[in-house]
Amino acid sequence: MGWKFQYIKQVPLQRLVSDHVPIALQCASKLKALKEKLKEWSRSDQGSLKLQKSRLLSQIADLGSILDSRIMKEEAAAKKAELYLELEEVLKNEESVWRQKSRALWEGDKNTKFYHQSANAYKRYNHIDKLEVQGETIVEPARVKEEIVEFYNKLYRGGRMEAYWKHQQLS
């Protein structure tokens, strides 16, 4: 009998309260491998919506010229209809990708330029390009990150938050 999940590592954990041994399944290495395969697929012709879209548009244009010259009219018309259906599916997928990136909740809007701008605006809005600390303006990304980490370390480890919450409870 073959084991279906042969690459998952099974680790028995320490028995604390229960009368059975808890088991942990380690499948992180498989997930990492899956991530790499998905990245490869995404970079391939099949995973790239832009490449699929341009390929379909090119094929539709070629069939349009065949239809205009009246060579194999019926087969070309059927193939063209099939390509239009594929193109519609690719456009729906593209819309979905941009909707996810923009975090917009609209349905049925084919304006991918809008979604592209929304996604980029969201990135710009969440980006800190400069920071003023004690009168000094910091613009280097590494220093900005350093100052932010230092600020929150002082805030949470310095006891200020504890004092604040104690004060709130007394009020």
21 and 36, same domain (yes or no): yes
Confidence of residue 122 (pLDDT cuts 50, 70, 90): confident
Q: How many CB atoms lie within 10 A of CB 115?
A: 23
pLDDT, averaged across the chain: 75
95 and 80, same domain (yes or no): yes
The three-state secondary structure class of 24 is strand
DSSP 88-147: HHHHHHHHHHHHHHHT---SS---HHHHHHHHHHHHHHT----EEETTEEE--HHHHHHH
Which structural domain range is residue 136 located in?
131-170
Q: Which helix (H) or strand (E) element contains residue 119?
A: helix 112-125
Q: Is residue 117 part of a domain?
A: no
Q: Is residue 123 part of a domain?
A: no
pLDDT of residue 143: 92
99 and 56, same domain (yes or no): yes
- Strand duo 136-138 + 131-133: pairing: antiparallel
Q: Is residue 1 part of a domain?
A: no
Highest mean pLDDT among 19-28, 62-71, 123-132, 139-148: 139-148
Length of the chain: 171
Q: Is residue 33 part of a domain?
A: yes
- Which of 95-99, 103-107, 113-117 is predicted least confidently? 103-107
99 and 140, same domain (yes or no): no
Confidence of residue 140 (pLDDT cuts 50, 70, 90): very high
Surface-to-core class of residue 63, CB atoms within 10 Å of its CB (0-12 exposed, 13-18 middle, 19+ buried): buried
DSSP state of 48: -
Give the model confidence (pLDDT) of 54-86 as tens digits.
Answer: 888 888 888 777 766 666 677 777 888 888 888
Q: Is residue 2 part of a domain?
A: no
Q: Is residue 113 part of a domain?
A: no
33 and 79, same domain (yes or no): no
Q: Taking 90 as the threshold, does the pLDDT of residue 137 lie above it?
A: yes
Q: Is residue 122 part of a domain?
A: no
Q: Is residue 97 part of a domain?
A: yes
For the chain, the domain total comes to 3
51 and 69, same domain (yes or no): yes
